[in-house]
Structure 1
Amino acid sequence: MCMSLAAALAGAEGKGSGPPPREGFSRLTSADAERAVVGNLCRCTGYRPIADACKSFAADVDLEDLGLNSFWKKGDAHVDKLPPYKEGSIGAFPEFLKAEIRASLRIDKCMSATVMAGSESSWHRPRSVEEYYRLIASDSVDGSGTKVVAGNTSSGVYREAEVYDRYIDLRDIPELNSVSKDSEGVQIGAATSISRVIEILRREGDDCKDVIFGKIADHMEKVSSHYVRNTATLGGNLVMAQRDEFPSDIATILLAAGSSVCIQVSSGKLNVTLDEFLEMPPCDYKTLLLSISVPHCTPDNVSSSAGAVNMTGDKTESSLLFETYRAALRPLGNAVAYLNCAFFAQISSDESSGSLILEKLNLAFGAFGTRHAIRGRDVEKYLVGKPISASVLLEACTVLKKSIVPKEGTTHSAYRSSLAVAFLFTFLYPMTKRNVKPARSARLNGHAASDTNGNPNCPPSADIDLSLKETNSVKSGLHNNDHILESCKQIVEISKDYLPVGIPAKKVGAELQASGEAVYVDDIPSPEGCLYGAFVYSTKPLAHVNSIELDPSLEQLKTVAVITVKDIPKGGGNFGANTIFGPEPLFGDPLTQCAGEPLGIVVAETRNFANIAAKRAVVNYSTETLDSPVLSIEEAVRRCSYFETPPFLLPQNVGDFSKGMEEADQKIYSAEVKLNSQYYFYMETQTALAIPDEDNCMVVYSSSQCPEAAQNNIATCLGLPCHNVRVITRRVGGGFGGKAVRSLPVAAACALAAFKLRRPVRMYLDRKTDMIMTGGRHPMKICYSIGFKSDGKVTGLHVDLFINAGMTMDISPIIPHNFIEALKKYNWGTFSYDAKICKTNISTRSAMRGPGEVQGSYVAEAIIEHVASVLSTDANLVRQRNIHTVESLALFHSECLENALGYTLPSICNQLTASANYQYRSEIIQTFNKTSQWKKRGLSFVPIVHKVLSRPTPGKVSILNDGFVSKRILHSWGFWFIPKLRSCC
């Protein structure tokens, strides 16, 4: 995030447009600052404070509200401390690192193509297309071991499972970087970066008043992230779509724009439409994409645009319309779309009838579950030539659903189909609302003068002015994808009662982390002779493991050993993790209980070799005498596959549920809520570095949240006394609970390999392996029955809770307690429950940020919303009627309430609703929703109850000889937190 913001600051200075900013400020705007970090992972702080920090550098921010004064004490001279953010003044790649890399490579410039040879592979950079084909025709290049690259960002999407000994870099071929233009359009070289393509299209769109160039550029800015677009190439994106079925946004929008491509094959150059290119057999290294042509879209070069003749012979007017759409988890980038669409239309106005007619139509759909982006030709054929009406639009939607169907196995297929229909409806609906009078009415900002009364029932483009200028600015109004700046106001009231406790303070390691100098486990230099390990994991959910064999064709990978359960030393044990609820095996041998369970470790000279050898290892399974695996909660319930929960961990029921139901005016029986799992997605995946030490000792650097448990587990696995194992954890690299118990198998496996081979071994799980093996949050199924009064007061609630724990217990027995405690944030009158922890053949689930509490709070809100829906009343009124009183809190949370003054939730809620003008804003929203057909607004107010109990926490204070004081506080599981060294008088 720091690098992204620094690049944005430098880029804003490079533009040099607009009035000069105030002294010490950049030309960066608040919107640019937010956009700079779009797609970055949110950390523990949440996005708002991060966005605030980014916007504080902007020139258009209020200095007293959110500017630099929010990060310095008032009165400090601080503006002149900021460095100049100019391109060239920010540190580039260090020269000493460049020198080290050059020294490790053999660079041969005797040929016109540069060849760089390393220990594992060679890198070729031909300087012309002819040289490229001479290179691939030579004996030195074998297609099976050759990868052609430009930006090579595809490696972030498709992890390499093949061994490449030669890479051919296309970026130095001038023809692939050239840009030209003519009367037909713009021709862009295939190796041009996406960021440069955006600049080219914006410039050309402004120069020639093109309808589509600006829209294409806008959409391209939502592809991946800024720094990926700086490297990724236009041609590479299209080749991925053509060859690898990548759900490309760029292929879709260029397809709708009528683009074509020029490709080089052995027989010569071919010019084909993009549609034809996508339909070709997958490209190999002998087919070279040279350039992409994007045609102009202006009235002068579109057929019939100067005027058309209707059936009665009356001359019509014609205009152009182009829109793009996408639906994704993160609409502004760094997320593959669930669906992307682009629509181009040439519209004529029949002055005799006053209707709109589609003369030409291109409908492109991508990420649809089809092999690549496709045209909706059946829909186009149906619509072209027809006057647009509501009935025609509805029939077009029906044709679309029948003609474009996601292939079998496509995730969220029904959702994708509904999106396609919604986007088509969004594009065409405004045309059906056009005033049918032949005479043209006066216009104001693209709307009829009669529509300026602010009626939200009418989308902004309900009346389409067929003049080109105004057609280009048409917005559908049904889907507003424009970026809206986050706005907030933070008020911090500092109490002086316990100073300095409560004063906002900078994090101790802020400078180290923000500068990138903080050392994580993977940053530790590899010791001399270090080896690298990678897991071979099961691909079967329940099977006997007969053998593990490496692919004999991979002898060149310098594989050192395969570590299995047979290599555990005498006196040790097959322990991957061990909690108070029971052990977990390190290796699933001879029986694997889930897909993703470790079976062994491949150790090789490099990490890449180890990963490739592990992925291509052959595991022989047998499933005779075994039942079918349990893969769902429903199957676990049917087969009574449960773990036992210690009774002391289960909260007590409250009151008599049956009596509560008798008092109810209305009842809901057996309602159901299902909650899926979540992956942790920490920045640094599970990693460890194990170094054998003298006297049969082992030093392990582990990114574990529980180093004490890691020490005990490694010692048990190796059969060593605990004092012979030293576990060092300086930083976790992101945890969220995933580096607690789930880090232990990685540390143990790494230590076992080092102990066996007597050489340092390090393991760093790639993201895919980490996601498969680590599990995540517990999936749940909740069934509830509830009774309530007509005014929304709940009288009784019963919950049946089913938790999918996976193959082992981990810390799953604590989840019911956390869930129920969070669920009891409301006064349910009477309350009862039954909790089951299901044993299934999936990877073990573990603690994740608010384990059980997040789900319990969510289910509580779902129940409140359900009651409100049945009563047709405001959910917030139901919340207010069921918020705890002091008396009810004593029943549901008796251990937390010492006196009435300790319960502050009602007063906090009252404070927040008053300060946020909640009631006034709710009334405004209700008024808007009554009159708005397409857009709806909402306002939510959700209380949360979280128990905070005091507990003894040991600490150490060391007074050093030079007067400094060192404080160490035990955080948990042997993790000592060191606040900072302080001088002492």
Structure 2
Amino acid sequence: YVRAYKQSKRHYGARAIVNAGLSVLLDHNSHVQEVFFAFGGMSGAVVRAPNAENFIAGKKWGDENVLKQLIQVLYEEFQLSFSVTGGMATYRKTLIVGFITKFWYDVTKSANIAELSPDIENSIGEIKRGVSKGSQTIGRPEKGNKIVGKPISHASAMKQATGEAIYVDDIPRIEAIEQNSYFPTTPQLAREDVEKGFEEADYIFEGEARSGAQEHFYLETNASLVIPKEDDEFEVHSGCQNPTSPQERIADVLGIAANKVTSRVKRVGGAFGGKETKSLYVSTALAVSAWQLRKPVRCMLDRDEDIIMTGQRHPFLGRWKVGLTKDRKILAYDLKLYLNGGGTTDYTIVVAQVSLLATDGCYYIPNVRFIGYPCKTNIISTTVFRGFGQLKQYSFLK
């Protein structure tokens, strides 16, 4: 008898939390002749349960006391710490017990070893769920003051659906603007006289536009391997988008010449700008460890660690003023552009400069004044993201 089981967070298209491949060969008296218990999700690879297999060998299948002892052996065999990758140590052990129990009764029924209670028999097969469905009737006559049953939209649903809803992480810290907390460089771009343009305009409009942060979420998180060589030389393997950076920064940190550091990038593993500078967090730290230990050191960040440490696309706030003529031509455009750079500059100044260059897009506007304010705030420094600076300004211009 052979069965396979899987438990995941979703029924389809999801990785298993724990899965199992179980088989047993019984003789004509229902004694176990051969058994295999294999589990995924209990270690870094698929693992067998040799203690449980040895225990059950020769025992009678269908004996409730044997099942209870088998479960105890499994509990003792799989000792997962609470710090296990992926977590849920207790839940995973519970899943193993559930799989074995289900397999036990499934084989008991299939081999006609014993009669099962209706509750146990119902739990053996796969529980199939139909497609979820529902209905709502719109336009019923309103009777009385009762709210229940009336088709009333959520107060903020429209803003959430259109993207107008403002969340804390989506915008620059207003405190930075109020307290003039900016990095020293304030890039500016101007043409002709914007104030004169407004004087000549027939219509003037003012407003604000915002765009939020964005996580890079590359396929492979930041990872690096540093190998010490002879004469204080080091070989560095990383996914950095700029192979020169690890060479220069590691040389700086260790106080050695740059030509003693060989930087190798075979595959980036996805980056989108997120590994221009942020990969240095890992490679420089490993270089110090390799220097002290004189042994190769490797590290790959978990996804949550990578997201916490590496920063995102810059959130922007644009305060704009535009003047138009009666024939709808843009005569003047004034923009104050605030971008949340976090605690250090990283690429923030470059992003601000590129943003200003892209601000008027494909249009010729005779009078413009664009000023970028790189805000210094108390979050991890933000960084470049594919199309940095340009995409935000095109949307602001539209």
* 1:171 aligned onto 2:99: yes
| 1:674 and 1:781 in contact (8 A); partners too | yes
CA deviations 1:830-885 (Å, max 9, x no partner) are: 11122211111101111110111111111111xxxxxxxxxxxxxxxxxxxxxxxx
Q: How does 1:452-851 map to 2 (within 5 A)?
A: 632-645=172-185, 650=187, 652-669=189-206, 671-825=207-361, 826-851=363-388
**How far off its partner does 1:144 sit?**
9.3
Q: Residue 391 of structure 1: which of 138, 142, 147 is its match?
A: 142
Match of 2:393 in 1: 856
Match of 1:159 in 2: 86
CA deviations 1:684-715 (Å, max 9, x no partner) are: 11010112222222111100111111111011
Q: For residues 127 and 818 of structure 1, what CA distance do their matches in structure 2 show?
A: 72
- Give aligned-pair identity as a percent: 26
Cα 1:827–1:175 change in 2 (3 A) is: farther
| 1:176 and 1:191 in contact (8 A); partners too | no
Cα 1:142–1:779 change in 2 (3 A) is: same
* Letter of the structure 2 residue corresponding to residue 675 of structure 1: S
| 2:194 and 2:332 in contact (8 A); partners too | yes
**How far off its partner does 1:396 sit?**
5.1
Cα 1:139–1:401 change in 2 (3 A) is: same
Match of 1:599 in 2: none
Q: For residues 140 and 104 of structure 2, what CA distance do their matches in structure 1 show?
A: 48
Q: For residues 708 and 717 of structure 1, what CA distance do their matches in structure 2 show?
A: 14
Structure 1 unmatched ranges of 5 or more: 1-37, 40-100, 114-125, 148-154, 180-186, 202-212, 217-252, 254-322, 324-341, 346-357, 359-382, 406-412, 420-630, 862-985
| 1:175 and 1:189 in contact (8 A); partners too | no
Match of 2:157 in 1: 415
Q: For residues 642 and 678 of structure 1, what CA distance do their matches in structure 2 show?
A: 22
**How far off its partner does 1:769 sit?**
0.9
Q: TM-score, normalised by structure 2?
A: 0.69
Q: How does 1:376-455 map to 2 (within 5 A)?
A: 389-391=140-142, 414-415=156-157
| 1:146 and 1:168 in contact (8 A); partners too | no
**How far off its partner does 1:802 sit?**
0.7
**How far off its partner does 1:174 sit?**
3.5
**How far off its partner does 1:191 sit?**
7.9
| 1:643 and 1:838 in contact (8 A); partners too | yes
Query: Which moves more between the two structures, 778-787 or 659-668?
Result: 659-668
Cα 1:699–1:780 change in 2 (3 A) is: same
Higher relative contact order (CA 8 A, sep 6+): 2
Q: For residues 190 and 104 of structure 2, what CA distance do their matches in structure 1 show?
A: 75
Q: Residue 107 of structure 1: which of 50, 63, 66 is its match?
A: 50
Q: For residues 377 and 290 of structure 2, what CA distance do their matches in structure 1 show?
A: 33
Q: For residues 822 and 838 of structure 1, what CA distance do their matches in structure 2 show?
A: 19
Q: For residues 254 and 124 of structure 2, what CA distance do their matches in structure 1 show?
A: 55
| 1:679 and 1:771 in contact (8 A); partners too | yes
Q: Which secondary structure does the structure 1 equivalent of 2:340 belong to?
A: strand
Cα 1:633–1:140 change in 2 (3 A) is: closer
Structure 2 unmatched ranges of 5 or more: 1-12, 15-44, 110-120, 162-170
Cα 1:750–1:400 change in 2 (3 A) is: farther
**How far off its partner does 1:414 sit?**
3.6
**How far off its partner does 1:166 sit?**
5.7
Q: TM-score, normalised by structure 1?
A: 0.30
Q: For residues 706 and 798 of structure 1, what CA distance do their matches in structure 2 show?
A: 36
**How far off its partner does 1:740 sit?**
0.6
Match of 2:9 in 1: none
* Letter of the structure 1 residue corresponding to residue 318 of structure 2: I
Cα 1:712–1:394 change in 2 (3 A) is: farther
| 2:336 and 2:372 in contact (8 A); partners too | yes
* Letter of the structure 2 residue corresponding to residue 107 of structure 1: P
Q: For residues 163 and 640 of structure 1, what CA distance do their matches in structure 2 show?
A: 51
**How far off its partner does 1:765 sit?**
0.8
Q: For residues 177 and 791 of structure 1, what CA distance do their matches in structure 2 show?
A: 80
Q: For residues 816 and 656 of structure 1, what CA distance do their matches in structure 2 show?
A: 22
Q: For residues 131 and 416 of structure 1, what CA distance do their matches in structure 2 show?
A: 60
Q: For residues 364 and 388 of structure 2, what CA distance do their matches in structure 1 show?
A: 22
Cα 1:797–1:418 change in 2 (3 A) is: closer
| 1:668 and 1:787 in contact (8 A); partners too | yes
CA deviations 1:186-227 (Å, max 9, x no partner) are: x9748848xxx3xxx6xxxxxxxxxxx4xx1xxxxxxxxxxx
RMSD: 4.2
